[in-house]
Amino acid sequence: MKQLLLHLIATLTLFAFVSSCSIQESPITGSKRAYAYSWEQEIELGRNADSEIVAQFGEYPDEQVAGYVDRLSREILGESHLRREDVPEKYQNTEFTFRVLDSPVVNAFALPGGYVYVTRGLLAHLNNEAQLAVVQGHEIGHVAARHASQRGLQQTIGQFAVVGGAILGQELLGLPGESLLNLSSTAAQLLFLSYSRDNERESDKLGVEYAAMNGYAAEEGAEFFTSLKRISEESGQTIPNMLSSHPDPGEREQNIPRMAREWEEKGYEQTIRNTESYMQMLDGIIYGDNPRNGYVTDGRFVHPEMRFQFNAAEGWQVINEASRVIQVNENGNAVIIFSIDSEADGARQSVEKYEGEEGFTTLESGDVVTSDRWPAYRGVYSVQTDSGELTVHVVSVEFNSRVYQFLSYTSSEAYDDFEPAFDGVSLSFDELSDPSILNIEPVRLRIERTSESALFRNLLPGTLPMDITPEEIAILNQVNLDERIEAGTFIKIPTQ
């Protein structure tokens, strides 16, 4: 990951310097306008960042779901400006990649050059294919309108250098910057460059256009944005990532049906919803956090699939990514990063490689044992940086034919305060043997068809898994708890 991000930063910085302005034809209007990057550079940016996105989230491992989303997305792409005969061949021939990410977060986004992502969390909150068509049309619209390149043009070279320098300095030791810890993707933060509301309105318009031209009931898209607003209100938090810089959801609830009617007046029938086929695809999809991929319980981080466990530092935030687990203390000045070291042949080699790093001074090193069972090696190093001296604490463990590494660090002056936490987490690594945890299964959506008319709350089971509330399930189904549901309606029920 480090090498990928370093390459991405280097590429981004290079583009900012050598290509601060590129005059090219817009795929949308056909007129000439200025962009930060050439189309070829946008494709390279997307390609480089795609691997980071997958490393952070992981792809949802269900070929049926992935195939369904890919097929529909390519239908929408086929009516987009990037596939029309009057646009240059470089646009027509651009390959697109559509991925379903294994994340419970309700989100969708696109990278420049044709990389479009939708999470399983978002899929779960849609009710039919027409809604997905509008969402994917919106993201394809960002790529077609080249919004990332438009926004990039408004950034100064100095701003790129500041961002690049910050990421480089932090990622060099494996630590994502504080501003990146709560993002869905480091690459997304670097490349989206905060789309303007006008950009978002244009993508809404294009999403409706592309869906309507395929015959989908584009007005359905408004229902999804209503759900996003309800998710925000239910959680008591700010608007979800997908809406953070977008127009107000209430505005979109009105504008999307209006734009759909305009396309209907142009002669485009919009009758396709494909509710039944969508629900069939959704049946069995994982809902919420997947405990098989690791979770915190009773002060421990446990991973049922890989059969290991270690302590979670008390009061520290735990961020579980597809390729690493990050623990950050309350003040953000100490970090523990756990990952697989796939390049090392053993624990000692995994640690001692830092002794060859420029600027690293070895303070101590030697064999240790985690949980009195597993061979491990521990090294402590001082590192001089522009912002001061850091102390880096590394413990690597050999377990089940893999080498796992805990990389922890803080400022040297604070190291004595945090060393007990660093050792307490890393030296607690052990095999997971609790059958109740090893056999835990994720919550999945069961699709049912109502046999009679009833209030939605009366259709819910008496007990719900994983602290899921009735209101959450109502939002999931785009209904209200006291709304009457007609017989024959598809509903989504979380089960475990």
- In tens, the pLDDT along 396-433 reads 999 999 999 999 999 999 999 999 999 999 999 999 99
> Quick one: average pLDDT of 300-314?
98
| Residue predicted with more confidence, 404 or 227 | 404
Are 469 and 370 in the same domain?
no
Are 321 and 255 in the same domain?
no
What average pLDDT is seen over the chain? 85
pTM: 0.81
Which pLDDT value is given to residue 157? Answer: 36
Which pLDDT value is given to residue 45? Answer: 86
Are 426 and 478 in the same domain?
no
Are 92 and 8 in the same domain?
yes
At 232, is the pLDDT very low, low, confident or very high (cuts 50, 70, 90)?
confident
Which pLDDT value is given to residue 49? Answer: 85
Which pLDDT value is given to residue 186? Answer: 37
At 246, is the pLDDT very low, low, confident or very high (cuts 50, 70, 90)?
low
Q: Is pLDDT above 70 for 287?
A: yes
Q: Is pLDDT above 60 for 174?
A: no
Are 432 and 470 in the same domain?
no
Tally of domains within the chain: 3
Q: Is pLDDT above 90 for 182?
A: no
| Residue predicted with more confidence, 184 or 430 | 430
Please, are residues 283 and 447 in contact by the beta-carbon 8 Å criterion?
Answer: yes
Are 269 and 168 in the same domain?
yes
Are 375 and 458 in the same domain?
no
Q: What percent of the chain has pLDDT over 70?
A: 84
In 400-496, where do the E strands start and end?
Answer: 402-411, 430-431, 444-449, 454-455, 484-485, 490-495
| Residue predicted with more confidence, 468 or 154 | 468
Which pLDDT value is given to residue 176? Answer: 37
At 211, is the pLDDT very low, low, confident or very high (cuts 50, 70, 90)?
very high
Which pLDDT value is given to residue 173? Answer: 34
Are 386 and 480 in the same domain?
no
Residue position matching structure tokens 């239908």: 75
> Quick one: average pLDDT of 48-75?
92
Are 193 and 278 in the same domain?
yes
The string over 215-229, giving b where at least 16 C-beta atoms fall within 10 Å of a residue's C-beta and e elsewhere, is bbbbbbbbbbbebbb
CATH number of residue 339's parent domain: 3.40.1000.10
Which pLDDT value is given to residue 322? Answer: 84
Pull the structure tokens for residue 466.
């994983």
Segment among 94-98, 229-233, 330-334, 417-421 with least mean pLDDT:
229-233
Are 276 and 309 in the same domain?
no
Which pLDDT value is given to residue 96? Answer: 98
Among the candidates 282, 305, 320, a domain finishes at 282
> Quick one: average pLDDT of 333-359?
92
Among the candidates 397, 423, 438, a domain finishes at 438
- Amino acid at position 346, single letter: G
Among the candidates 250, 282, 314, a domain finishes at 282
> Quick one: average pLDDT of 485-494?
97
Q: Which of 47, 304, 365 is nearest to 191 (CA)?
A: 47
At 386, is the pLDDT very low, low, confident or very high (cuts 50, 70, 90)?
confident
Structural domain span for residue 100: 2-282
φ/ψ of 134, rounded to 5, equals -70, -40
**Distance, CA of 411 to CA of 422 (rounded, Å):** 13
Which pLDDT value is given to residue 91? Answer: 95
Q: Is pLDDT above 60 for 286?
A: yes
Are 297 and 249 in the same domain?
no
Instruction: Tell me the pLDDT tens digit for each residue of 435-480.
Output: 999 999 999 999 999 999 999 999 999 999 988 999 999 999 999 9
Segment among 29-33, 72-76, 113-117, 388-392 with least mean pLDDT:
29-33
Neighbouring CB atoms inside 10 A of 26's CB total 17
Give all strands of the β-sheet with 115-119 in edge-to-edge order.
97-101, 115-119, 108-111
Helix (H, G, I), strand (E, B) or coil at 369: strand
Are 379 and 361 in the same domain?
yes
Decide: residue 63, CB within 10 A, 0-12 exposed, 13-18 middle, 19+ buried: exposed
